[in-house]
Amino acid sequence: MKSVTERKRTVLSVCMVFIVLSAVFLLGGCGMSGDHYFLKGVEAYCDDDWSTAIENLKKAEELGVRDYEETEVYTYLGGSYLELDMYDNAIAYYQKVLDSGSAEVNDYVNIAVAYRQSGDTQMAIKYYMIALQIDPDYAELNSSLGSLYILEGRPEKAIPYFEKALSKNPSLAVTYGNAALAYAMIGDFEKADSYLEQAVIRGYDNADIIRERIDELRR
């Protein structure tokens, strides 16, 4: 599953396109249409100016957009509210995307992330599971679901998702680290040490923290 930071990087990859389009609309006399405010909102989002993004995107929602999908407005609004830790608002807009009937896997991931950030792991698991039904081989999503089960103290549930993630993408350093902890939690320290070693090889930043937790469980 993509983290908030990963989702942000995905959005940034299209930011320049939106900025160019914004200039084209302005030169073309688009005026104060919903499309104009949408593009201004996306530009603010790309600049990490969440409040300005919300202000413009709300105007786009009110006026309606012509050349964009309404669900795009909702997605950026959800993302802006999520960045401001306004989880109820983020969830409400992500839910509008789901209610549109055209939701894709990442839309379910988005609302799962919002629930996860808000501390509601059960709802996060629910939407991660729906996303997995759409794309069962999504490595990061399997990894994120495993991480949630770790948070719930259910390593036996987490391990199959970590293994599935690694089978699809063996480069996921954080997944090796989390899997190492999961194996330690069930008392399999041989695998825990092996997986942590793989995490370190792949440049896992939190290896020392995981090692301390494994050593605590070993004692």
pLDDT digits (tens, 9 = 90+) for 58-112: 999 999 999 999 999 999 999 999 999 999 999 999 999 999 998 999 999 999 9
With CA atoms as reference, report the closest residue to 60 among 109, 18, 7: 18
Contact by Cβ (8 Å): 146, 165: yes
Average pLDDT over residues 103-124: 96
Is the pTM of the predicted complex or chain greater than 0.75? yes
With CA atoms as reference, report the closest residue to 73 among 42, 32, 30: 42
The CATH homologous superfamily for domain 136-219 is: Tetratricopeptide repeat domain (1.25.40.10)
Give start-end residues of each CATH 1.25.40.10 domain in the chain: 1-135, 136-219
CATH topology of domain 1-135: 1.25.40
Per DSSP, helices labelled H in 28-153 are 34-46, 50-63, 70-83, 87-99, 105-118, 121-134, 139-151
Written as six digits, the tokens of 60 are: 């786009």
